[in-house]
Amino acid sequence: MLTANSLSIWQYLSAFPAMLAGRRHHRAALRIELAQLFEVEVGRIVLFDSGRAAFGALLRLHGVQAGDEVIVPAFTCVVVPNQVPPTGATLRFVDVGRDSLNFDWLALDAAITPHTRVVVVPHNFGIACEVPTWLREKQRHVRFVDDAAHGFASRCDGQWLGTYHDGAFFSFEYSKNLTGGIGGMALLPAGSELPPAVLPELPCGDEWRLAATLKAHLLSARWPLLGRCTMAAVRRLGMVYRSGDGEVARGEPHPPRAMPLLSAVLLRRQLPTLAASIAHKQQLATRYQRALATLPDVQQWPAPQGTHWVRYPFALPFAVTDKAALARQLSAASGLNIGVWFDDVIHPAGAFRHGYVAGSAPHGERLAASVLNLPMNIALPADAQLERKLARLSRALAELLRQHKDPA
Ligand X SMILES: Cc1ncc(COP(=O)(O)O)c(C=O)c1O
147 contributes a contact to ligand X by CB under 6 A: yes
Q: What residues contact residue 79 under an 8 Å CB cut-off, 6+ apart?
A: 50, 51, 52, 243, 247, 248, 254
Among 4, 46, 57, 80, which residue sits at the site for ligand X (rule: CB under 6 A)?
Answer: 80
267 contributes a contact to ligand X by CB under 6 A: no
In whole angstroms, how close is the CB of 244 to ligand X at the nearest point?
11
Among 163, 171, 220, 331, which residue sits at the site for ligand X (rule: CB under 6 A)?
Answer: 171
Contact window for ligand X (CB under 6 A) among 28-36, 100-108, 145-153, 370-378: 145-153
Among 149, 292, 303, 376, which residue sits at the site for ligand X (rule: CB under 6 A)?
Answer: 149
Angle between helices 384-405 and 274-292 (to 10 degrees): 40
Among 26, 27, 31, 52, which residue sits at the site for ligand X (rule: CB under 6 A)?
Answer: 52
Contact window for ligand X (CB under 6 A) among 130-138, 142-150, 203-211, 228-236: 142-150
177 contributes a contact to ligand X by CB under 6 A: no
207 contributes a contact to ligand X by CB under 6 A: no
Contact window for ligand X (CB under 6 A) among 50-58, 125-133, 266-274, 361-369: 50-58
Among 150, 165, 323, 366, which residue sits at the site for ligand X (rule: CB under 6 A)?
Answer: 150
Which C-beta is closer to ligand X: that of 205 or that of 244?
A: 244
**For residues 142 and 113, is the Cβ–Cβ distance under 8 A?**
no
Contact window for ligand X (CB under 6 A) among 46-54, 218-226, 283-291, 319-327: 46-54
In whole angstroms, how close is the CB of 355 to ligand X at the nearest point?
19
Q: Give the interface size with ligand X as a residue count (CB under 6 A).
A: 13
184 contributes a contact to ligand X by CB under 6 A: yes
What residues make contact with ligand X under the rule CB under 6 A? Answer: 50-52, 76-77, 79-80, 147, 149-150, 171, 173, 184
